Structure 1
Amino acid sequence: MNIKNRTAMVLSLAILITISSIIAPNKVQATENTAVNSTTAAAPALTGIKKLKTSNINVVILGDSIAVNQGASDPSTTGWESILFTSLTSMYSHNILWYNKGSSGTLVDYCLQRADEIAENTDAVFICVGRNDRNYYTPDQFCLKYIQLIQLIKNKAPNADIFCIVEPPMVSSDESLFKAIRSQISLASKSYGANLLDVWSAFPTNQTDLAAVLSDGLHPKDKGYKLMSNYIYKQLITKINEVK
């Protein structure tokens, strides 16, 4: 092979490598999206929260303003977390040690940061985020981050049950952005071995009735958090008492 032909071959290889490096990220994302859309895992058997029947448990909450009960008259007594605590501890006579790592106005990225703090002995994790993300991420972008969050939690606390909360609807003539986020939460939870808690479905669909349980058109008031807590409680005790 003469020098001219060898030089041409080297240049061709360099061009191919450059093109591959540009295309690869898009191919990876397409592959990930295909995997999410085509995989549906069976609902996981609970291991962590079922311990409440015989012992105290450790529970972490990750999320935004609804995770921290914004809109409740007294978050320490009338927020969903407090009402759920009272209902579950009354039913099973053991204590729940809550670690609420939520913060108002945050996105799934904040949950990823705080999830890194989760202790290995955590028994259950509630993810309550997505309402704010609709204004910053496409549904696919959000879904990839949400999946990353589920996987991080599994790595930090392998025996923890993960519960993915779809937050309540808001008073709005167009909820299409959040409906897309809701679909992605459902998809991610079913595909990656988490448990879906579709709190959205427990709230009124009529805008007037919905406004009556929200404090500002977005955050639940006491009545709304009671609806949220009652829905989660019923879902949890069904799973906890399930014999498998």
Structure 2
Amino acid sequence: MKKRFFLKLLSITSAAMAIVILFILFGSTEKTYGFDKNSSVYEKMNQRKPVSYLVIGDSIGRGSGAEHPAMRWFKILERRFFIENGIRLNGEYIVQSGATAFEGLYKLTSHQENSPVDLIFIVFGENDRKYMNADEFGRIYEALIREAKALHPNAELITITESSLTFENFAKQIAAISSHYQASNIDMRPVFRASGFTAKELTRDLVHPNGKGYQLYSDTIYSKLWNNAGNSKKIALLAPPLYDNSFQGFHEIITPNRQNEFVPQGLFLASNHIGAIVEYDFTGTFVGAKVLRGPAGGIFNVYIDDKFVTSLSTWWPFDKERALYIASGLADGPHKIRIEVSEKNSPYTTKTETLIRISSIITNKTQ
């Protein structure tokens, strides 16, 4: 009887020990994308641990132009890390075709799932030069970097100067701000020039890279990351701002103080009447508008404090809510913005009747 009891006790003890050993061997060493948050991306690479990354960017950031989704630069990068190094890369994407750094900043602050990441790619410039000057771009680009770093303090920042960017003053802003925050800047323009291929051979439309062009993006990023890892690059702390007006968040104003021939349409105020206006009061140093772009999107003129500022198109191939940049560098005080339906139409529209749909204006919070 005692022998039987002893054998049963020994069996239970052995089973319990086996479970503990299995947990030690497998459970405690399992690596997930949120594992070991105190290790930098370069430490994780050298230890062959999984790496999480975030892309904040425009159409090149999202890989537009590739002949197949698998030929986008970040997918090529993921495959190479896994095949050559046994490292899994897991990505999140805050990207939008046609976006500026302003829209990237707005989408980042509105993003619901800001779980910690190891690596952040910032890809802007080509669209920004159409809507703002280099100084305005620099202020918003810096605000984007600071917000990304505040949300992900342990992440390495990789800024990409797009291969199609021809405005040197914009490229200089990217380089200077990257240097100030010790971000790794990758300028793809000299890489394309040194490749031996023409822009036509490397792009879909002389702007968006094709699969061959994105292969160059991936190869250059791969080399830069491993060079940094080999040099044990440290993740920089958030440096003091370069510009005086540091970003403190967005403030949306939904209710206008005056409107004429704009009517409610779902979450938007809409009008197809030429000369129709909607007017808002705001306080801030920069401002944008949240609109619904689509095939029926028209053009509106913008006046700030009764002075004409710009005209913006809301045409897009499909309906999509967008945050459009309007102006920055404004005096830090009260302003009035008036949006007026233009008689002009986008050259891309096929609609006989167009309309403007706006849900709010967006400005920066002030003290």
TM-score normalised per structure 2: 0.49
Aligned CA distance change for structure 1 residues 207 and 181 (closer, same or farther; 3 Å): farther
CA distance 1:72–1:113, shift in 2 (3 Å): same
Corresponding position of 1:61: 55
Write the deviation string for residues 4-61 of structure 1: whole angstroms up to 9, x where unpaired. Answer: xxxxxxxxxxxxxxxxxxxxxxxxxxxxxxxxxxxxxxxxxx9234413332121000
* Aligned partners of 2:42 and 2:232 also within 8 Å: no
Secondary structure, aligned partner of 2:121: strand
Secondary structure of the structure 1 residue equivalent to 2:53: strand
Counterparts of 1:206 and 1:111, CA distance in 2: 30
What CA distance in whole angstroms lies between the structure 1 residues aligned with 2:192 and 2:43?
27
Cα pair 2:99 2:127 within 8 Å, conserved = yes
Structure 1: distance between partners of 2:164 and 2:207: 7
Matched residue type, 2:52: N
- What aligned pairs does 1:132-151 form with structure 2 within 5 A after superposition? 132-151=127-146
Q: Structure 2: how far apart are the matches of 1:229 and 1:93? A: 17
1:49 touches 1:124 (CA, 8 Å); kept in 2? no
Is it true that 1:152 corresponds to 2:152 in the alignment?
no
Is contact 1:52-1:95 (8 Å) kept? Answer: no
Counterpart check, 1:169 vs 2:137: no
Q: Which has the higher contact order (CA 8 A, sep 6+)?
A: 1
1:182 is aligned to 2:171: yes
Of 85, 91, 97, which aligns to 1:92? 85
Matches of residues 1-40 of structure 1 in structure 2 within 5 Å? none
Identity of aligned residues (%): 28
Whether 1:200 aligns to 2:189 is yes
Match of 2:201 in 1: 212
Q: Take 1:180 and 1:108, find their aligned partners in 2: how far apart are those partners?
A: 16
- Please give the alpha-carbon distance, in whole angstroms, between the structure 1 residues aligned to 2:43 and 2:137: 30
Distance in 2, matches of 1:157 and 1:240, equals: 19
User: Secondary structure at 1:212's aligned position in 2?
Assistant: helix
2:154 aligns to what SS in structure 1?
Answer: coil
Please give the root-mean-square deviation of Cα atoms over the aligned residues, in Å.
Answer: 2.1
| Cα distance, 1:102–1:49 mapped onto 2, change above 3 Å | farther
Task: Map Cα deviations across residues 156-197 of structure 1 (whole Å, 9 max, x no partner).
Answer: 011000110000126xxxx3xx22211110011001221111
1:33-52 equivalences in 2 (<5 Å): 47-52=40-45
Q: Which has the larger radius of gyration?
A: 2
The 1:124/1:152 distance shift into structure 2, 3 A limit, reads: same
Q: For residue 241 of structure 1, report the CA deviation from its aligned partner.
A: 2.1
Aligned residue for 1:164, secondary structure, equals: strand
Call closer, same or farther: CA 1:137–1:152 in 2, change over 3 Å.
Answer: same
- Name the structure with the higher helix share: 1
**Residue 223 in structure 1 maps to residue 212 in structure 2:** yes
Q: Deviations over 1:102-154 (max 9, x none)?
A: 11011101211232236352111000111000011110100011111111111
Provide the rounded CA distance (Å) in 1 between the counterparts of 2:196 and 2:219.
Answer: 21
Task: Tell me, in whole angstroms, the C-alpha distance in 1 between the residues paired with 2:90 and 2:171.
Answer: 28
Match of 1:105 among 98, 101, 120: 98
* d(CA) in 2 for partners of 1:94, 1:161: 17
What is the number of residues matched between the two proteins?
192
Alignment correspondent of 2:65: 71
Could you report, residue by residue, the CA deviation over 1:50-92 in whole angstroms, capped at 9, with x for unpaired residues? Answer: 41333212100000000111110012x1111111111122233
Matching residue of 1:3: none
Distance in 1 separating the partners of 2:84 and 2:102: 35
> Which of the two has greater strand per residue?
2
Q: Which runs of 5+ in 2 are unaligned?
A: 1-38, 234-367
